[in-house]
Structure 1
Amino acid sequence: MEGPPVSLLNDVTSFVASALRYPRGFRAVVTRSERDGPTQLLELYEFEACPYCRKVREALCELDLDYLSLPVAHGSPRRGALKRRGSKVQVPYLIDPNTETEMYESDDIVSYLYRQYGLGRSDGSIVPLPRIVNDGLALAASAARLTRGSRCRVPNSRRRLKPLELYNMEASPYCRKVREALSELDLQYVVRNVPKGSPQREELAQRGGKVQVPFLVDPNTGTAMYESDEIAAYLEERYGVPAADN
């Protein structure tokens, strides 16, 4: 477990990453109560350290959309499945079973999500940013976290595990630390987005007792918990050893 100085540095760099992207992924532009659907869960091949994946995750949060995260950090065995599905190992890769849409390219995915689920509203930027500036800020946010969430640390497949659930707000520096651990441990998980204004916050309060993120639910062990450092420690202890499918 990290000592106090390392833990403090971890928190500070995560706050820096959030500040570089503010206000993206913080507040709902459209809530699930304002639209019909989607009825089926979207899927996203991604990994936490990828700046282009970050842009898609921000849009999903702003649109109050849940999705299944399929981590494919460097070294992940799941990269083979991505190549078979989409013909190349490139992220982000979105699958929307509601419209039978599958696509690469972050800007194309963000445009699709807002067109399909955004009710004609613009994204969560304070002012429109040129693409080069938007990409540059996303890259800077990744650089602030060094290599966290970029490389898979377990060689075994996780196919027999049920997906974990994470109540999440993309802009939260504490959620980021948990997503990094999930990415490095190659654990697929359902993202339950709860940006500011989301009606799903009521569900979070009922399920966990308060509105606070991150909140992890592990159906494989019956565990449910708050607090990012405790969640990361739990994930490391439970899934960090290279045992066959745990």
Structure 2
Amino acid sequence: MKLFFRLLRAVLGPVLLLKERLSHPAGMQRVYAEQARVDKLCQQLSLYQFKTCPFCIKVRQEMRRLSLKIELRDAQHHAENRDTLLAQGGSAKVPCLRIAAADGSVSWMYESNDIIAYLRQQFGRK
């Protein structure tokens, strides 16, 4: 069964990446000061993801639409990222958004739709 999914991922992965590259959405335009504020807030965020995961691609596309510079952490090929995700987030599931608050607390958000809703609420047009 694992072999089947590896083969499926190997075949579909490049197709999904090509589709992501070809359907690159235009980013939101902000005045310089507002974009600088958004960039500073994004430094508190990191997205644990797999490059070819369709749900991760969906989140990355929304990040592009919102012009967000969020650090991407590969949890598929980097064991340290996967281990951090499992130890601190509680599950090795992706996508997962790590949110560090100003008070030093950290929360972990799973589910692509929840992550997108959060990003739109925080950084979308008011």
Equivalent residue in structure 1 for 2:12, among 3, 13, 19: 19
Following superposition, the deviation at residue 160 of structure 1 comes to 3.2
Segment drifting more, 176-185 vs 159-168: 159-168
Following superposition, the deviation at residue 200 of structure 1 comes to 2.8
Instruction: Look up the match of 1:155.
Output: 30
Following superposition, the deviation at residue 198 of structure 1 comes to 2.7
Residue 223 to residue 159, structure 1, CA distance change in 2 (3 Å):
same
Instruction: Look up the match of 1:238.
Output: 122
1:160 is paired with a residue of what secondary structure?
helix
2:73 maps to 1:192: yes
2:79 is paired with a residue of what secondary structure?
coil
2:41 is paired with a residue of what secondary structure?
coil
Residue 20 to residue 225, structure 1, CA distance change in 2 (3 Å):
closer
Instruction: Look up the match of 1:168.
Output: 49
Following superposition, the deviation at residue 199 of structure 1 comes to 4.2
Seq. identity, %:
27
Instruction: Look up the match of 2:90.
Output: 209
Following superposition, the deviation at residue 223 of structure 1 comes to 4.3
If the length of structure 1 is used for normalisation, what is the TM-score? 0.38
If the length of structure 2 is used for normalisation, what is the TM-score? 0.69
1:241 is paired with a residue of what secondary structure?
coil
Q: Quick one: which amino acid aligns to residue 89 of structure 2?
A: G
1:186 is paired with a residue of what secondary structure?
coil
Measure the CA separation in 1 of the matches of 2:113 and 2:96.
11
Q: Quick one: which amino acid aligns to residue 124 of structure 2?
A: G
Q: Deviations over 1:101-160 (max 9, x none)?
A: xxxxxxxxxxxxxxxxxxxxxxxxxxxxxxxxxxxxx3xx247xx74x421124241243
Q: Quick one: which amino acid aligns to residue 153 of structure 1?
A: M
Following superposition, the deviation at residue 174 of structure 1 comes to 0.6
Measure the CA separation in 2 of the matches of 1:196 and 1:240.
31
1:225 is paired with a residue of what secondary structure?
strand
Q: Quick one: which amino acid aligns to residue 208 of structure 1?
A: G
Measure the CA separation in 2 of the matches of 1:211 and 1:168.
10
RMSD of aligned Cα (Å): 2.8
Do 1:154 and 1:240's aligned partners in 2 also have CA atoms closer than 8 Å? no
* Larger helix fraction of residues: 2
Q: Deviations over 1:29-72 (max 9, x none)?
A: xxxxxxxxxxxxxxxxxxxxxxxxx6xxxxxxxxxxxxxxxxxx
